Structure 1
Amino acid sequence: MTQIDPSWDLYRTFLAVMDEGSLSGAARTLGLAQPTIGRHVDTLEQALGLELFTRSQHGLAPTDAAVQLRPYAESLAATTAALVRAASGEREAVHGVVRIAASEVIGVEVLPPILTPLRQRYPGLVIELTLSSSAENLIRREADIAVRMFKPRQEALVARHIGRIEVRLHAHRRYLDRAGTPTTVEDLAGHTLIGFDKETAAIRSMSRRVAGFDRTLFGLRADSDLAQLAMIRAGYGIGGCQIGVAKRDPALVLVVPEAFQLTLDTWVAMHEDLRSSRRCRVVFDALVAGLGDYIKWQDAP
């Protein structure tokens, strides 16, 4: 290995080749020429003294060394992105990029009416929204602020408890007109249920709180909460939906409320180092207020 420390550009290229599986694909992703990508890979291999890729009939295959290095390169990417966001916010009081992590339903159904007036008030603010049911790691700064459905346990975080989002069984009126409305838990056995596909740790935790909903019972299985919600709206069957989301659509009907009662403890969290960042504080406060209003709307008669 040479004594020259590889630049970040080389690691960025390395990750792009890992993701795309070819020099040409990485070139398109990064907006660089293919020969430049090839030189970056060669330079990084020489600097590290390792072979990172082997050519195969399907493109470039990562070696074991490349697989082991990937998490470190991803950590560099997250840190670099956080540095750029922090620098972008120093030019004006509320200006720059704030990256928010949230679940699919929260990000698509709940956050837009919260973030829209925020952008109108602060036109220099740029929001990056990452949607995933997995927990974004705020300690590694993969996101600046996260909306989480569990209490954050890292000591280096600033967290605010918002309240509890309630999930109950709902169906579209079209489905109920066609299949009838269940009135008891036993009635659900004759209906099309919508639920998860893969049983993750989070699903197992939920199953302990909501008995009787097994994967084998579902007439549609999807790990995307948005896909499940779309199928409920399409009249496919009965599935879990946040009460606040359902109340916005008169066509979605609450059914057998005693059969399925899932409570999502809701928190907004950010790294404590960002407390002095004006732009992050503004977004944090807007999320706390907006999600609080959403829960009040949910609980209103």
Structure 2
Amino acid sequence: MSKDVDWSLYRTLRAVLRAGSLSGAARTLGLSQPTVGRHIEQLEQALGLPLFTRSPTGLRPTDLARELGPYLETMASAAAAAARDASAEADEVAGVVRVTASEIIGAEVLPPILAEFNDLYPKVVVELVLSNRAEDLLRRAADIAVRMVRPTQGALLAKRIGSLEIGLYAHRRYLQRRGTPAIMADVADHAVIGYDQESSLGDSVDDLTGPVSRETFTFRADSDLAQLAALRAGFGIGGCQVGIARRDPNLVRVLPDAFGFQLETWVVMHEDLKASRRMRLMFDHLAEGLTAYIVGAQPETPVR
């Protein structure tokens, strides 16, 4: 077994594992399929063990290949982070900043905030990753994260922005057609929009009383954007951030006294990035923009 293995071979292995085939990896890497096949053969020779077996359905990774998978992702994240760090001098407002956020925050809340940042610092390239998973900032899968839960990892610079309120909403057209539920028990007679396999809201939904569960959902999707699209289309009743719902006069909140909860909002980055001016400026800009968004989503104080 050779200990001195070219990183490009591991990069090819990662691409094959992700694509599930030599041809798919070749397209991802911009290489020919025979070249990808040679890379895998060279890596197998260097490691002294097979990485794939062939089956009627295609390539099947061996236990060794599967065990290498997490390390390959760490190596890829480190390589990408090194490329971002080298994209500009630390004190120059230029280069690449990789931001990760949930689907809803990334698609519905961050675009105008990032557009303002681009107006101020046009030489900064923004990479936005939409994921409801908590990307590992310690491994530099991203530089800055907007998270809806309190960070637990060490070596992170975290700032709590506030809390976002989630409520139940429906399109006016749907309520005209099906009526408005008066109590939570009435929801059982309505079309409800919810998750399929997993809920990004976690225990916030599971702890609620009433007939709200996967079995009662008429529209199921693990994509928060798909759920929001169904809500806007008048499919049924679903959860929505108060701040986003307020933008659409056709979305009406239902059962505000029976259903509602808060999601903490944090901006987080690795503490080692404080020395980078563009990272710190982005961190502060996101914190300021999200604070303004949360303040604008607060319930209006009734006039007495």
* TM-score between the two structures when normalised by the length of structure 2: 0.94
Give the C-alpha shift of residue 204 in structure 1: 4.8
Contact 1:160/1:267 (<8 A) preserved: yes
How much identity, in percent, do the aligned residues show?
A: 57
SS at match of 2:297: helix
Distance in structure 2 (CA, Å) of the matches to 1:297 and 1:105: 17
Q: Who is 1:276 aligned against?
A: 275
Contact 1:209/1:262 (<8 A) preserved: no
Q: Who is 2:217 aligned against?
A: 218
Give the C-alpha shift of residue 187 in structure 1: 2.6
Q: Who is 1:8 aligned against?
A: 7
Paired letter, 2:10: Y
Give the C-alpha shift of residue 92 in structure 1: 6.6
The gaps in structure 1 that reach 5 residues or longer are none
Distance in structure 2 (CA, Å) of the matches to 1:300 and 1:127: 32
Between 58-67 and 236-245, the greater mean CA deviation after superposition: 58-67
Distance in structure 1 (CA, Å) of the matches to 2:226 and 2:123: 33
Please tell me whether residue 146 in structure 1 is matched to residue 162 in structure 2. no
Deviations 1:259-284 (A, max 9, x none): 21121011000000001111111111
Paired letter, 1:214: S
Contact 1:105/1:226 (<8 A) preserved: yes
Count of matched residue pairs: 299
Paired residues for 1:204-283 under 5 Å: 204-212=202-210, 213-283=212-282
SS at match of 2:86: helix
Deviations 1:8-30 (A, max 9, x none): 21111001111222222211111
Deviations 1:32-72 (A, max 9, x none): 12222122111111111111112222322211111111111
Contact 2:90/2:278 (<8 A) preserved: no
SS at match of 1:260: coil
Deviations 1:184-212 (A, max 9, x none): 22332321111122246x65522354222
Q: Who is 2:83 aligned against?
A: 84
Deviations 1:120-141 (A, max 9, x none): 2212111111111111111111
Distance in structure 2 (CA, Å) of the matches to 1:216 and 1:33: 47
Contact 2:12/2:40 (<8 A) preserved: yes
Paired letter, 2:209: A
SS at match of 1:128: strand
Distance in structure 1 (CA, Å) of the matches to 2:88 and 2:239: 39
Distance in structure 2 (CA, Å) of the matches to 1:204 and 1:119: 34
Cα 1:168–1:270 change in 2 (3 A) is same
The gaps in structure 2 that reach 5 residues or longer are none
Q: Who is 1:101 aligned against?
A: 100
Distance in structure 1 (CA, Å) of the matches to 2:231 and 2:81: 38
Paired residues for 1:108-127 under 5 Å: 108-127=107-126
Give the C-alpha shift of residue 241 in structure 1: 0.3
* TM-score between the two structures when normalised by the length of structure 1: 0.95
Between 203-212 and 31-40, the greater mean CA deviation after superposition: 203-212
Distance in structure 1 (CA, Å) of the matches to 2:164 and 2:267: 13
Between 13-22 and 244-253, the greater mean CA deviation after superposition: 13-22
RMSD over aligned CA atoms reads 1.5
